[in-house]
A and B are shown apart, each in its own frame.
Chain A
């Protein structure tokens, strides 16, 4: 149970660590993937987009089960022994971030590309230069993609509980702590933890907003 200030701090830091890492990893994969799908012409593009958007609805517990079966001792990568560690939680959450970031990136770059394609071409940019220009112009959308990704995983409980195990002092994060308190009937305490979670989100989104406005750059 999260009873003391130091426990609360520990749980909060782990929440930020797991969600932050998942957002960074998911974005590192999703942004290039989204740019590729958005800017390159290839057959079956519509189908790929549809699949990406469909995966917005990927159930977190399913992501957890998927990672569980891969990293269970009975699974193909069991010898790594990462089940019930924050690493496993990060991987499960990353799977949830990738489609969101990919999809939002696609939309952002396609819009920008439409608007500036001719100008960039008229100025004689090489393909590489034009891609970089598009990405720079799509900045607001790309940060938005990270925000949505972070928002999904900081609030996620199913996968975190399954592959993390909600181990006190090791893999307990805010959402699994909320679930535990709810299970115990401590609804007020659960809501208080929810307020902590939202406060964390507020700080992170404030930072991301500044990044979006390029005030930090």
Chain B
């Protein structure tokens, strides 16, 4: 037993000393809470090394849902947020948890369904009409819809579209599970479920393209896209340093300023995967320096209606 105790003690001391030694020579760190889509799409692995190099720091990425990311910010556990849930973001900043909210980039939500699109969402005039078709066919037993039903930006967007049809959150949550499945899963898992169940769902396009490019959802197709209501805005919010004095506010502000700078915006625009651009920079005052991006003006107008909110501090 003595031997076991000695081995255990040696492991504890050795492990701790080793860990502390490793930790010693790390440069300053920035804790970034973000959504799974920015991380899983590979965007952050593409842009962050440039920032880390320029500012001699490391960025710790904590990729969770927008809801969880905002909670982490609220509790002062991270320095900066990069999220896509505008209403929750505005509340967060107004309540004093966030220093400011700046637009960074957007991509698009798309409606995904069985390749043959049996209920013809394709011909819908807008996203609301496509949802109406899903609702009508769903209640008639001819279609299934899988909802994230979590605290994600995607679910928030889904609820906003149901709201245009007159269904509030409580009513949506009461939709019968014969056609409306409330999964509580991440985006990728929901697409995998839709593939198995021949169902429709609402997805961010980055995750959809990732699944398509890896041939994981051969029976699904993007059946409706293009409505400006399906616009997916990402914003950066440094956590308020007067509320949480320990946050690395200087670095958080540098990160924000870098993201919305021409350099940061150009870098985001240059990220290509699956043979296409996945994120479209749209920080205030940014003008694409390279080839013209046709959709940017249209979406720029839309995002201008969502004001960047500042606290009175």
Residues of A whose CB lies within 8 Å of any CB of B are 1, 17, 20-21, 24-25, 27-28, 72-75, 78-79, 81, 83-84, 86, 135-136, 139, 165-168, 170, 182-186, 211, 216-217
Contacts and interface: CB of A to CB of B under 8 A. Distances in A.
A139 B188 contact: no
B60 A185 contact: no
Contact of A73 (B8, B76, B210, B216): B76
Given A72-B77, A74-B76, A182-B189, 12 more contacts: A17-B15, A20-B11, A21-B11, A74-B75, A74-B77, A165-B60, A167-B60, A183-B188, A185-B191, A185-B192, A217-B3, A217-B4
Interface residues of B, number: 31
A21 B12 contact: yes
A28 B8 contact: yes
B220 to A, nearest CB: 12
A84 B75 contact: no
B8 A168 contact: no
Q: Which among B4, B61, B63 has the greatest number of chain A C-beta atoms within 10 A?
A: B4
Interface in B59-97: 60-63, 74-77
Nearest to B245: A73
A25 B19 CA distance: 16
A165 B69 CA distance: 11
A79 B8 CA distance: 29
B8 A24 contact: yes
A139 B1 contact: yes
Interface string B192-220: 10000000000000000011001010000
B15 A20 contact: yes
B36 interface: yes
Nearest to A74: B75
Contacts of A73: 75-77, 244, 246
